[in-house]
Structure 1
Amino acid sequence: MSQALIAALQNPALYPHPVEAFQVIETHISWVLLTGPYVYKIKKPMNFGFLDFSSLASREHFCNEELRLNQRLTDDLYLQVLPITGTADAPQFGGDGPAIEYALQVRQFPQSNLLSTLQANGELTSTHIDSMARQIAEFHLNAPIVPAANEAGTPEAVMAPVEQNFEQIRPFLKDAADLQQLDALQGWAQSSFARLKPLLQERKAGGSIRECHGDIHLGNATLIDGDVVIFDCIEFNEPFRFTDVYADIGFLAMDLEDRGLKCLARRFISQYLELTGDYRGLDLLNFYKAYRALVRAKVALFGLTPESDAVQRATTFKQYRKYANLAESYSAIPSRFLAVTSGVSAVGKSHVAMRMVEALGAIRLRSDVERKRLFGAQQGDNALHSGIYSSDASVATYQHLHKVAEGILRAGFPVAIDATYLKHDQRQQAAAVAETTGVPFLILDCNAPQAVLEAWLQQRQAEQNDPSDATLEVIEAQQASREPLTAEELVLSKRVETNESGSLDKLVEQIRQRLPGL
């Protein structure tokens, strides 16, 4: 009946809008009928265990769920669920009589606008990634918390699909090196789980298990009217969607790294964390990225059949090993460091710190962001005269930055703190964190000509998209009160002329030579 229905629906007279052409895309769970202006998605009557569309009632339910859930992240893209009446040979949208099927109507967009297509064409930019970070952060902050009684997010529920990956992959492998690698990955996953179990319990109790998207990658994001739109969340299986927010962002980070976009993956994670402040969960990131990589490795193997020839098998195992190697990379012992910027406001410290993120894998902590988070001020508001810049507030801000930095370092990530660090005791406190965690310490002495600094400040104030509240008067006061680096600090510092790109490039290369594991 379904194939006949899909054929009968390719009749322009059935639609209350012009039809440019019909194109049918068939997946293992649905038919997608493209008409030009709109897409109509019809679910197949299938039951795969993790997904059950076998009854008409279930297909209606999940069409409505797909509509509801995707409207959380889209605007005017997912439109309505339409009953299909009549017969398979003579169907109608709406009409009299009982429904024989249901279709989800979605506004159609060019496939060339998918971010995965932009990436393949070399057109994906950091602006797209920053937009995704903002949208996902806001989405996660507002997503409903999964009730405590629901087992989703418990340590046992987290580990079960991780172990399932290994159980389902192992029968496909014959090569001794592949089996040895899989055993090592399973051992790492199990030891990581044992170490992370208290944190997983903490995350469950603390409300970090949310009604997430479940399937965020570049193939599920597109440009509509120039804006990034994230779509096609998982509607058919609550446990796939009821998860820690780190599982959601870990998927996109892994997808970016799989595409060779490690710099953008690092930028995405750091930008997301600046918006959410959820640094406590960083210990989970590589665990979830490895899990997501092995899901893709497993899916690649599922494409093998007894009829697969030698070329098909070689292609499949090449793809499998690519993902297995990516998963293995997340188990590597990291190279860590603590870098702090030192310089007046608007000198370009944030740009320097972001280069540490993209080039060296650091997590950026911004004093302007963390100060407002600490004292409950809104990030977009000017709080210069609100009291959060008093001496006591500044002491508390630096203490907070150092506490968070220590947690990030212990989670295995380098840190770049974007703050003025104009005072000797502030720099000494940061150095103490580096010593406590056993990592190298570096002061990035940021400088620029006064004319450049004033031009950057004017540009920043005009754009009104920076968390800093500093004015020229504030900068002049900073310059007057700045305590120069001591002889001991100069040994630990690198001077950066922030208006010269070559100065920053040279710095990055010097750090790489000193810490080759980055």
Structure 2
Amino acid sequence: MDLCPAPTISSSMDQAATIALLGDAATHQGLAVERIDTDGAVIFLAGDRAYKIRRAVHFPHLDLSTPDRRRRVALAEVAVNRRTAPGLYEGVLAVVPGAHGRLVLAPAGPGADAAAVDWVVVMRRFAESGLFDRQAEAGLLTRDGMRAVADAVASLHESAHDETPDRPDRPPPGGVEAVRAAVAGALGALRLHPDLFDPPALDRLEGGLMGAVTRQEWLIERRRRSGYVRPCHGDLQLGNICVWADQPTLFGAAILLDEAGGQEGEAAGGGPAVIDVFHDLAYLLMDLEHRRLRPFANLVLNRYLEQTGDFAGLALLPLFISLCAAIRAHMTASTAAARRPVGAGASFRREAAAYLDLALSALNPRAPRLIAIGGLPGTGKSTLARMLAPEIGPIPGAVILQSESLRRRLLDAPEEGTLAASGYSEAVTARVYGEMAGRAGLVLEAGHAVVADAVYARPDQRADIEAVAHAAPVPFLGLWLVLNQQQATDEGRPKGERGGRGLGEMRWDILSVLGSAADVARRLLSQLTRPEPWRTEA
């Protein structure tokens, strides 16, 4: 017996003529037509254009059952996505009756709206190989590409300003009640699939999510009042990111219809998701984690923080990652339910269960800790930090605080190239190390882990970062990297026997980086499972 409800198909027969029209080469000046079917849309590729119609379906999470709702979604889709992908979205066409009862395409507008039976979003066509989910499946994602994605997300968030006023007849966008409503909606949809999702597991998830909202209520509201709730993308998964004009481009943004009805002239009664920017980022981090690509998720998080400095939002990541995974679980389950015959959606059912597991695990994060990595230039500090960070602390791993990167940002200097000698003055260096310690404290306070990457050649610099861990309090590990065993022996000698190097008393663990960085990282990570591996004293 199929206990998973399929989407209600209200008027699919009415769309048969529209589908025939768009699938006919004559509609596209004789060009060959390729058809792509999804559960919510049918897409036709012809020449350098893509034509998308929404299916007349009513999922628990999406109602497209009437022509008017499809009109509103189509117009809003183009308006919203032109923020991030203006070159991709060309406009909307109406499907209207023509001569002899045949359907034709016409520009959307007052003249066509009344007669239209359906609506078509017109996009520029791009290569499927340019989709980031395809690149992930093929193992072709790169660090440079994902850094550029993080930059695009940060740019969207920084440029977005929430112009949606609070309305007394509904919860404020992105506020506590709105987040609670999102949790309740996700859990309600998950409970429609009792054969797929274990009810006790859903009880644990609901309790965990609602408990997290209650604990973070003050922060959710403070961020809303401070302007961190903005018009966002709303569905930042890899499948909604493509390479266009040689740049990562965000498209396929979530569309929210104004169920209360918009005023005449408003953008089709629909608009973007207005949520906390960290809620938006969490979709992408969750998708990468689900695909077992945590190193890329860690990279995205760290690049985003470099660009925005929004460390306070870290405290909400476990909640938002869990909520995003729960939403994806019910959407995937709905897709599985729509597959006929029963059983055809087995892979989607397995994936939905994996999303639920992720939603539960995100609410039980690893404890934070602070690892400081010091050493002279060329000892591989940054490489080791990058390898350790994904394995430390909550999903998607530790925040990396890197002194050279911070120095350049404080000086407003380019990321590449040689800094002037003044950039390494005593005053600038003191400012950099002070900022490192301050940011480390903020991250730990938010419940996240830290990997601090700097030379740390002076005893006071090392003492300051240790003191941050002691104040948190969290476990601390200080590492001093050396290139060979002889150097390790030299660094371990008393101060007076080091030839004036000025390192002072070295209380940190001296680590020779002989061999590959991966081997060194594995040796260190193996210590994490030991009963007493880390010092906590300052």
Report the TM-score, using the length of structure 2 for normalisation: 0.78
Rounded to whole Å, the distance in 1 between the matches of 2:398 and 2:501 is 26
Aligned to 2:353: 321
> Structure 1 residues 6, 318: closer, same or farther in 2, change over 3 A?
closer
2:325 touches 2:356 (CA, 8 Å); kept in 1?
A: yes
Rounded to whole Å, the distance in 2 between the matches of 1:79 and 1:447 is 57
Identify the match of residue 154 of structure 1 among 175, 181, 184. Answer: 175
Between 263-272 and 311-320, the greater mean CA deviation after superposition = 311-320
> Structure 1 residues 75, 494: closer, same or farther in 2, change over 3 A?
farther
2:405 touches 2:415 (CA, 8 Å); kept in 1?
A: no
Q: What amino acid does structure 2 have at the position aligned with 1:13? A: A
1:218 is aligned to 2:250: no
Rounded to whole Å, the distance in 2 between the matches of 1:516 and 1:172 is 44
Q: What amino acid does structure 2 have at the position aligned with 1:98? A: A
> Structure 1 residues 481, 160: closer, same or farther in 2, change over 3 A?
farther
1:446 touches 1:498 (CA, 8 Å); kept in 2?
A: no
Aligned to 1:362: 398
- CA-CA distance at 1:138 after TM superposition: 1.5
Aligned to 1:512: 528
SS at match of 2:23: coil
| 1:219-238 pair list within 5 angstroms | 219-224=239-244, 226-237=246-257
Aligned to 2:80: 69
Rounded to whole Å, the distance in 1 between the matches of 2:81 and 2:283 is 18
Identify the match of residue 19 of structure 1 among 19, 27, 31. Answer: 31
- CA-CA distance at 1:344 after TM superposition: 4.1
- CA-CA distance at 1:304 after TM superposition: 6.8
1:294 is aligned to 2:326: yes
- CA-CA distance at 1:164 after TM superposition: 2.5
1:148 touches 1:204 (CA, 8 Å); kept in 2?
A: no
- CA-CA distance at 1:239 after TM superposition: 8.0
2:18 touches 2:95 (CA, 8 Å); kept in 1?
A: no
> Structure 1 residues 386, 160: closer, same or farther in 2, change over 3 A?
farther
Aligned to 2:143: 126
Residue deviations 1:307-357 (CA, integer Å, cap 9, x gap): 988856976664443222111211224133212232345654322221222
| 1:387-466 pair list within 5 angstroms | 389-447=424-482
Aligned to 2:502: 483
- CA-CA distance at 1:298 after TM superposition: 2.1
- CA-CA distance at 1:502 after TM superposition: 5.4
Aligned to 1:98: 112
Rounded to whole Å, the distance in 1 between the matches of 2:313 and 2:327 is 21
Residue deviations 1:206-249 (CA, integer Å, cap 9, x gap): 11111110111111122346543221111344687111111111
- CA-CA distance at 1:119 after TM superposition: 1.8
How many residues are treated as equivalent by the alignment?
A: 482
Identify the match of residue 139 of structure 1 among 138, 156, 161. Answer: 156
Between 240-249 and 217-226, the greater mean CA deviation after superposition = 217-226
Rounded to whole Å, the distance in 2 between the matches of 1:401 and 1:274 is 12
- CA-CA distance at 1:441 after TM superposition: 2.0
Q: What amino acid does structure 1 have at the position aligned with 2:211? A: S
> Structure 1 residues 245, 331: closer, same or farther in 2, change over 3 A?
same
Rounded to whole Å, the distance in 1 between the matches of 2:61 and 2:201 is 28
Between 112-121 and 298-307, the greater mean CA deviation after superposition = 298-307
- CA-CA distance at 1:412 after TM superposition: 2.5
Aligned to 2:185: 164
Q: What amino acid does structure 1 have at the position aligned with 2:293? A: L
Aligned to 1:82: 93
- CA-CA distance at 1:380 after TM superposition: 4.7
Aligned to 1:471: none
Rounded to whole Å, the distance in 1 between the matches of 2:377 and 2:326 is 44
1:267 is aligned to 2:288: no
2:33 touches 2:44 (CA, 8 Å); kept in 1?
A: no
Rounded to whole Å, the distance in 2 between the matches of 1:240 and 1:225 is 24
SS at match of 1:124: coil
SS at match of 2:255: coil
Between 341-350 and 132-141, the greater mean CA deviation after superposition = 341-350
1:222 touches 1:228 (CA, 8 Å); kept in 2?
A: yes
Rounded to whole Å, the distance in 2 between the matches of 1:251 and 1:86 is 41
CA-based RMSD of the aligned residues comes to 3.7
Q: Which runs of 5+ in 2 are unaligned?
A: 1-13, 258-269, 485-497
Between 76-85 and 399-408, the greater mean CA deviation after superposition = 76-85
> Structure 1 residues 112, 512: closer, same or farther in 2, change over 3 A?
same
SS at match of 2:198: helix
Aligned to 2:220: 200
- CA-CA distance at 1:193 after TM superposition: 1.4
2:339 touches 2:345 (CA, 8 Å); kept in 1?
A: no
- CA-CA distance at 1:104 after TM superposition: 2.2
Rounded to whole Å, the distance in 1 between the matches of 2:282 and 2:356 is 16
- CA-CA distance at 1:254 after TM superposition: 0.9
Rounded to whole Å, the distance in 2 between the matches of 1:47 and 1:171 is 14
1:6 is aligned to 2:19: yes
Rounded to whole Å, the distance in 2 between the matches of 1:7 and 1:76 is 28
Aligned to 2:11: none
Q: Which runs of 5+ in 1 are unaligned?
A: 450-478
Aligned to 2:261: none
Rounded to whole Å, the distance in 2 between the matches of 1:27 and 1:167 is 21
1:247 is aligned to 2:279: yes
